[in-house]
């Protein structure tokens, strides 16, 4: 896969205007030197403990032999099914790495009881579970770990032979008792920048990915990214992200190029830049997305290729990118930090993520059974004055500002309910505006920051469902069904409160199949 970056149209004009300023300010070399002053005094405290991703190579070199040794042990014991329990960057990077190398890695990044149950009840006799949490106290991963521990015990399997933990040193999870192994990650790397740390390497490496080659290719671009000249691709890309008047970045992978990379880049860019009322909204889409047929004036398309096309229309606005996966990780991480510099925000904090967690906890402690505002067949409607699903959706889209985006948040099973993703294109066609699609609760650890901290441009369609076959969480007073519902309602409450004032429509499906069909029909 070749390395290249070409910008065109307004994106090129932005690069031409901003690149000299970035070079003069020595932004590339200062980031490479882990200079915490790059993003200003207000960001300095956080930046000083979040720049380990700039040089992950030494730590990775020490880590890889232990990962490969454990992989060999597991294979000899026929433990060939690797499940990852992780959220946000802890799951999205390994998912991309595994897809790139075409190895099987089962991702459990949900609290939907039907999806957790499917994963927990499949092939336990050959399953090893990697539980990844930077803080060691993430509610989703703690719940998933409890479910797997109980399942192993019920099957007569010692969980201590099957559990592998990835966490920061000193976290509540940093304890070797009752587990197979504990891998420590660099505490000076935030979750969304952790692709080349233990969070990205352990699960994908145990699943069979070539993590040695991944780290090697990521280091090939190191000197270029540290340079203060026109060859620094990250400066180009960061300047293109910050194109004036175009604050939305539609990411489309062409053909078989880097499968899943758009989802990983989406969480990196959204959580890093969406704060203080500013940000770049990443839209993970595809080459046939409706937005590309009639490009909104505030969108920059970013195409990811295996090989750059020989001819690119210089008049049409766009970014055209190609790189090996490890190199792509490094370029995008640098470029996102550069975009943060240009936007005048800290790319390493996430001040609005905690609010949704607090609201979810309060819902679990004192659950309130709210009455729907209306019922239309198998669909309950919350947050609307309309009496039908069609009218409620029309009411929500009418609130979409001219520079707005439509966010679909599906708190359902992303394996068995994945036809819901058709809604993204349907609403993009209907509204003529960019549309994002996120599976809850995993997006709460990434794009959820942008929704609350970024520009107040979004309208939000939440999709929840009743749980006919719930799953209890051992030694917790709530179930997975209660947890995911509390997470949805909690986030919706924060989005629509007096401080944020975002329009939110929650559609609850009392019958999943019928409700999904009704939603798709209404969107059409």
Is the C-alpha dihedral spanning 331, 424, 144, 117 positive or negative? negative
Residue at 294 is within a domain: yes
Residue at 406 is within a domain: yes
β-partners of residue 436 are 407
Condensed to tens digits (0 to 9), the pLDDT of residues 271-315 reads 999 999 999 999 999 999 999 999 999 999 999 999 999 999 999
Which value, to the nearest 10 degrees, does the dihedral of the CA atoms of residues 360, 410, 206, 53 take? -70
339/357 same-domain check: no
Number of domains in the chain: 3
Contacts of 171 (CB under 8 A, 6+ apart): 133, 134, 135, 136, 137
9/141 same-domain check: no
Average pLDDT over residues 59-83: 98
96/75 same-domain check: yes
Whether 335 contacts 241, CB under 8 Å: yes
Q: At residue 366, does pLDDT exceed 80?
A: no
231/253 same-domain check: yes
Q: 3-class SS at 281?
A: strand
Q: Model pTM greater than 0.85?
A: yes
Residue at 289 is within a domain: yes
Domain range spanning residue 331?
A: 4-33+226-343
| DSSP for residue 83 | E
Residue at 101 is within a domain: yes
Average pLDDT, the chain: 96
Is the C-alpha dihedral spanning 71, 75, 78, 83 positive or negative? positive
d(CA 304, CA 287): 10
61/168 same-domain check: yes
Closest CA to 326 of 215, 190, 212, 206: 215
68/204 same-domain check: yes
Residue at 174 is within a domain: yes
Closest CA to 261 of 422, 419, 407, 92: 92
What are the start-end ranges of the H helices in 159-273? 198-207, 211-219, 222-225, 233-241, 261-273
168/246 same-domain check: no
pLDDT of residue 345: 97
Indicate the residue among 291, 310, 343 that finishes a domain.
343
pLDDT of residue 359: 85
pLDDT band at 133 (very low <50, low <70, confident <90, very high): very high
pLDDT band at 446 (very low <50, low <70, confident <90, very high): confident
Quick one: tokens of 506?
């929650």
From residue 10, alpha-carbon distances to 113, 311, 332, 441 in Å are: 46, 18, 20, 35
Residue at 8 is within a domain: yes
330/361 same-domain check: no
Indicate the residue among 293, 323, 343 that finishes a domain.
343
Closest CA to 128 of 93, 164, 176, 175: 164
d(CA 153, CA 151): 5
CATH number, position 420:
3.40.50.10490
Contacts of 128 (CB under 8 A, 6+ apart): 74, 79, 81, 82, 83, 162, 163, 164, 180, 206
pLDDT band at 219 (very low <50, low <70, confident <90, very high): very high
Condensed to tens digits (0 to 9), the pLDDT of residues 241-255 reads 999 999 999 999 999
Please calculate the CA angle 303-87-67 and round it to the nearest 5 degrees: 90
321/231 same-domain check: yes
Residue at 46 is within a domain: no
Indicate the residue among 216, 243, 268 that finishes a domain.
216
63/177 same-domain check: yes
């Amino acid at each position: 896969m070749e390395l290249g970056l070409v910008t065109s149209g307004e994106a090129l004009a932005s690069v031409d205007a901003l690149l000299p300023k970035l070079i003069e300010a020595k932004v590339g070399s200062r980031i490479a030197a882990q200079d915490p002053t790059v993003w200003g005094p207000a960001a300095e405290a956080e930046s000083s403990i979040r720049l380990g991703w700039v040089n992950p190579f030494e730590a990775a070199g020490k880590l890889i032999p232990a990962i490969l040794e454990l992989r060999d042990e597991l294979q000899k014991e026929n433990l060939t099914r690797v499940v990852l329990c992780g959220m946000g960057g802890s799951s999205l990077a390994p998912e991309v790495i595994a897809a790139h190398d075409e190895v099987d890695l089962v991702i459990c990044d949900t609290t939907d009881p039907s999806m957790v149950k499917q994963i927990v009840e499949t092939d336990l006799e050959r399953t090893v579970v990697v539980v990844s949490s930077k803080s060691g106290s993430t509610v989703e991963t703690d719940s998933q770990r409890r479910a797997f521990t109980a399942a192993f015990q019920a099957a007569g399997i010692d969980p201590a032979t099957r559990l592998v933990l990835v966490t920061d040193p000193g976290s509540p999870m940093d304890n070797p008792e009752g587990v197979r192994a504990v891998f420590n990650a660099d505490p000076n790397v935030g979750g969304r920048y952790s692709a080349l740390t233990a969070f990205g390497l352990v699960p994908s490496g145990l699943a069979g990915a070539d993590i040695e080659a991944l780290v090697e290719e990521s280091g090939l671009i190191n000197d270029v990214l540290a340079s203060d000249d026109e060859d620094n691709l990250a400066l180009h890309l960061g300047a293109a992200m910050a194109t004036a008047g175009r604050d939305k970045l539609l990411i489309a992978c062409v053909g078989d190029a880097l499968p899943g990379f758009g989802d990983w880049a989406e969480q990196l860019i959204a959580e890093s830049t969406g704060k203080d009322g500013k940000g770049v909204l990443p839209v993970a889409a595809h080459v046939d997305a409706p937005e590309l047929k009639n490009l909104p004036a505030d969108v920059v398309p970013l195409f990811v290729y295996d090989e750059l096309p020989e001819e690119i229309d210089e008049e049409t606005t766009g970014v055209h990118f190609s790189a090996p996966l490890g190199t792509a990780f490094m370029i995008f991480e640098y470029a996102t930090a550069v975009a943060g510099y240009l936007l005048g925000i800290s790319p390493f904090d996430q001040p609005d993520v905690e609010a949704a967690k607090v609201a979810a906890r309060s819902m679990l402690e004192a659950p309130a059974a709210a009455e729907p505002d209306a019922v239309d067949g198998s669909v309950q409607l919350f947050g609307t004055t309309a009496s039908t699903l069609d009218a409620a959706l029309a009411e929500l889209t009418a609130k979409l500002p001219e520079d707005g985006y439509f966010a679909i948040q599906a708190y359902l099973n992303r394996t068995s309910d994945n036809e819901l993703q058709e809604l993204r294109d349907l609403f993009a066609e209907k509204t003529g505006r960019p549309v994002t699609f996120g599976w809850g609760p995993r997006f709460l650890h990434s794009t959820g920051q942008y929704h609350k901290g970024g520009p107040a441009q979004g309208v939000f369609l939440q999709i929840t469902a009743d749980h006919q076959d719930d799953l209890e969480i051992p030694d917790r007073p709530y179930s997975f069904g209660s947890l995911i519902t509390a997470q949805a309602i909690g986030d919706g409450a924060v989005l629509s409160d007096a401080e944020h004032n975002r329009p939110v429509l929650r559609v609850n499906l009392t019958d999943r199949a019928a409700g999904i069909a009704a939603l798709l029909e209404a969107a059409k």
